[in-house]
Structure 1
Amino acid sequence: MELYLKNIGKVAEAKVEIKGVTVVAGENDTGKSTVGRALFSLFNSFYEIGDQIRQERIASIVSVLRITYGNTFFITDDLQAKGLEEYAEEILDKAQEYKKDIKLLEKDIQSGLIVDGDRSESYFEAIDVEDVAKRVYDILCVPDDDIFQSVINKKINAEFNGQLLNIYADTEGVITLKVKDEELTVNVFSNAVSVSEINHCLHTEAIYIDDPFVLDDMNLRMLQWRLSYADHRIQLEHKLAFNQSAASVVDELVVEKKFEKIYEMLSSVCSGTIVKQKNRRVGYRLKNSLKTLSIKNLSTGLKTFAILKTLLSNGAITDNGTIILDEPEIHLHPEWQLRFAELIVLLYKEFHMHILLNTHSPYFLRAIEVYAAKYGVSDICRYYLAEVNEEGSAYISDVTTEIDKIYAKLSKPLQRLEDERWNID
């Protein structure tokens, strides 16, 4: 898998191969996070495109029907039982019939109305069934490409807060993701996103972890409806809150065997589990105890491990999946940094995941190197250095064969401190 960026965010140009464990290292404000957010954006946008388009149509139809059938007194028992969303799905399933005969659509919409057991012609006239049918008909006729263009605009802009283009360049931006023989390209003009062809879609999602405090803000009720145009944080909350696995019993047993060692290592640091509470938030239940600790009282470092453990338990982390870790070492003391680095390498070894990791810590970088060697996966690790030129634009360089360049850059502050110490003496 290869990601290419041109004039996106702070990054002027970058080409990053994500084969196994890929590390992008550099000082603060050098475009490291831009790479991760761009990768997440493309995965989020191109994930099961057909399903996304279908859900957009259903949501629009439900919006029209909610106005039409707003008072449940006027809805048949059958329609009340199935709900508006299921009814909208039925309408969408008959889209080809309705596009040929709008009168059939009018008839079916009208059949959902009843008053005291009898048809009410006056109510039909009051709500203008013909107008409602026309609005639903228009939704059915919107081209798939138009819907997807709108979806991808909203999703990518949500991740970048509407600022995709490099502020130091006046030209267009490009994000390209190559996955095996498929190439997904997004062009950016004045922060408007355009996709020339929609020939491919992705069947796995990327998970982006950059903030352990995401656990503090989780509200399970709110998560039920705010996923459509979610940034990486909301998507992570959703994956932490709900079980993602649809695997068979045999598949689950295979997965359990794979992450047995990983889970054991996680449990040595984080022995408890994330649980849902009555107040619609989450807590941390201690091992061998019925007591639940407020998630806000959990140490920040422990939250990092709790997030990873929960994603594994929920089935969110899967074979050949993609995970993006933005400076995970920030809240971890040295011992836990070593354990987390080993966990990352094991995730690749057992699940063959694509892992993109950003760091500004030479200590954590060294830990990744050592554990990659320990588990025999050094050959699939890639290392990149993020730097900023005099104009303020960032460039990402492949330094896999010369990692010392990263250490030279990141160790300068320590050397400066040593120089200061010698000057004092």
Structure 2
Amino acid sequence: MEFSIRGIGIIKEADIKMDGLTVIAGSNNSGKTTVGRALYAVTSAVEDLAEKQQQDQAKAVFYRIRKIVEPFDGWLSRSRFLSRKEEVSDDLISEVIGINHIYNPGKRDYYIDLLFRLCESMEKGSFIELLIDNLRDVVGNSESAIRNEWEDHKEKIQKECLGAREFVESFQQQTKKEFAYKMIEETLAVEFSNQAQSYITVDEGGISKLEFKNSHKEFYEICISENRILEDKSSFTEGYYDRAYFVDDPYIIEDRITPSYLAAPYVDEKHVQIRIMSHRDKMRRMMRVSDVDRGISETIYREQEIQNVMKKIDAIVPGKVSKGVYQSPTGRKLKVENLATGSKVFSIIKKILTSGDLTDKTLLILDEPESHLHPSWINQLAEVIVLLVKECNMTVLLTTHSPNFLLAVDALMRKYEIREKCHFYQTEFEENNQIKYVEKTDCLDNIYADFAASFAEMNALRKKYMNVEE
């Protein structure tokens, strides 16, 4: 597999092989995170694509229904009160009341049917009669007020109904590819704060590209101009990975979940209604939920599959995190805020292993995970990562500027005989401060030399002043 980038962030060009463990090394501000962020954005956008499309359409139709009946919310609230006493007689009124401002993502077809019946009732003028009939015992002298309100809003409501019918017809013609493009576009906007393209590419009016392919198939080629996808120049068949996890901050373990209504909204002419969650919010949500009950057979299978990895992690963090609490095997509970930072790193990986749906198409992106670790724990983290590739067949994209971490991965890939699945890249600056990626898989000497240069500089300085002191 190969992931190619042109003109994203500060990256001029990069062709990254993804066949097991891919390591990107380089200095700060050299675009290492950009690769992971771009790959995560596309992968996350098209995860469970058919399900997302149905949920999106359900939400869109739900809000159309709410918009049509909005002028009568006050009267429907009275009917809602009666419905609790089982006095509402008409099915249509009770169904409109029943959706109760909270949509169910699994009810797309039901919402479409309800919308059509509601529109038919509005167009015939029978809805108002049904509403008055249901409020007969409490409406009193307000019947004329309801009729006047109907006359005031009748034309607008019927236009809403016409628009709603056309809307449903339009999204029923929507293709998977169209929906995928809009999901990718918006997820890139969330991950890159509406600035996925490099300023140089944008200034030159150029096109940026994201491509994923193997020797037999191109999965997608996304062309971007002014941070919008050019659908006529792009292609999309499917995403390759089933699930992606992007870990770049151990402190997400202690953050509260961002409510879905605060996540980035997305509504445009392609009707994408889903709230896009950033990679950090998705990780926050995972860290706060309880472990899934998978049943005995599934649990046994999963434990056998990851047992060697879990032994390594348990040696450092024997407990588990759930709902913001770390619980040790002895039952002692500790708020995750009080967990050591290094332990947070291992706890996040452990949570992914126990809660995630891991397959050979799972992508794990770790952005400088060694930053908070002692060298001995860096070595153990490297072993965990190598075992994830060897025994779980996961794909791992790793960025680092630690010579200790690079050396540990270099040694352990040889110990566990996965060298043929490993690829190494170094970032290099070009003109205009743009970055290109150079593969160093066959010889890591240049990467080690780059890391060693800073150490040698300070070591020489130290010796100089030690001589002065003597």
* Cα displacement (A) at 1:29: 0.8
Number of the residue aligned with 1:42: 42
1:360 aligns with 2:401: yes
- State the distance in 2 between where 1:253 and 1:112 align: 60
**8 A Cα contact 1:23 1:359, kept in partner:** yes
CA contact (8 A) 1:223 1:238 kept: no
Q: Matched residues in 2 for 1:192 and 1:172: separation?
A: 10
Given that 1:27 and 1:387 are in contact with CA atoms closer than 8 Å, whether structure 2 keeps it comes out as no
1:144 to 166, 171, 174: 174
Which deviations, in whole Å up to 9, do the C-alpha atoms of 1:287-339 show, x marking residues without a partner? 312x4322211111110011111111213443331010000000111111111
Specify whether residues 332 and 187 from structure 1 end up closer, same or farther in structure 2 by C-alpha distance, changes over 3 A only.
Answer: same
Once residues 263 and 232 of structure 1 are traced to their aligned partners in structure 2, the CA distance between those partners, rounded to angstroms, is 24
1:206 aligns with 2:247: no
In the other structure, the counterpart of 2:161 is 133
Q: Could you give the per-residue CA deviations for residues 26-53 of structure 1, whole angstroms, max 9, x where no partner exists?
A: 1111111111111101102222333333
The alpha-carbon distance between structure 1 residues 11 and 61, as it changes in their structure 2 partners (threshold 3 A), is: same
SS at 1:410 equivalent: helix
Pairs within 5 Å for 1:293-304: 293-304=334-345
Residue in structure 1 matched with residue 15 of structure 2 by the alignment = 15
RMSD: 3.3
Does the alignment pair 1:345 with 2:386? yes
Q: Look up the match of 1:168.
A: 200
Q: Cα offset for 1:231?
A: 1.8
Amino acid at match of 2:388: L
The 5-angstrom pairing of residues 317-356 of structure 1 reads 317-356=358-397
CA distance in 1 between counterparts of 2:345 and 2:293 reads 25
Amino acid at match of 1:226: A
**1:33 aligns to what?**
33
Alpha-carbon distance in structure 1 between the residues aligned to 2:79 and 2:151:
13
- Give runs of aligned pairs for residues 209-220 of structure 1, distance below 5 A: 209-219=247-257
In the alignment, the residues of structure 2 paired with residue 125 and residue 246 of structure 1 have an alpha-carbon distance, to the nearest angstrom, of 55
| Structure 2 partner of 1:279 | none
- C-alpha deviation, 1:153, in angstroms: 2.1
Structure 1, unpaired ranges of 5+: 277-281
Unaligned runs of 5+ in 2: 81-92, 137-142, 265-274
AA of the residue aligned to 2:379? L
User: Which of 233, 240, 248 does residue 280 from structure 2 map onto?
Assistant: 233
Deviation at 1:354, TM superposition (A): 0.9
Q: CA deviation at 1:151?
A: 2.9
Given residue 194 of structure 2, which amino acid in structure 1 is its aligned partner? G
Alpha carbons of 1:32 and 1:201: their partners in 2 closer, same or farther (altered >3 Å)?
Answer: closer
Partner of 1:85, secondary structure, is: coil
State the 1:240 CA deviation: 2.7
Relative to 1, partners in 2 of residues 1:111 and 1:210: Cα closer, same or farther, differing over 3 Å? farther
2:327 equivalent among 265, 285, 289: 285
- Work out whether residues 345 and 368 of structure 1, in 8 Å CA contact, stay in contact via their aligned partners in 2: yes
The answer for the alignment partner of 1:410 in structure 2 is: 451
Contact 2:79–2:135, Cα closer than 8 Å, also in 1 = no
Higher helix share: 2
Higher relative contact order (CA 8 A, sep 6+): 1
**CA shift for structure 1 position 226:** 3.2
Contact 2:290 2:322 (C-alpha < 8 Å) held by counterparts: no
Q: Is 1:274 aligned with 2:292? A: no
- 2:89 — aligned with what? none
Determine if the alignment matches structure 1 residue 389 to structure 2 residue 421: no
TM-score (norm 1): 0.87
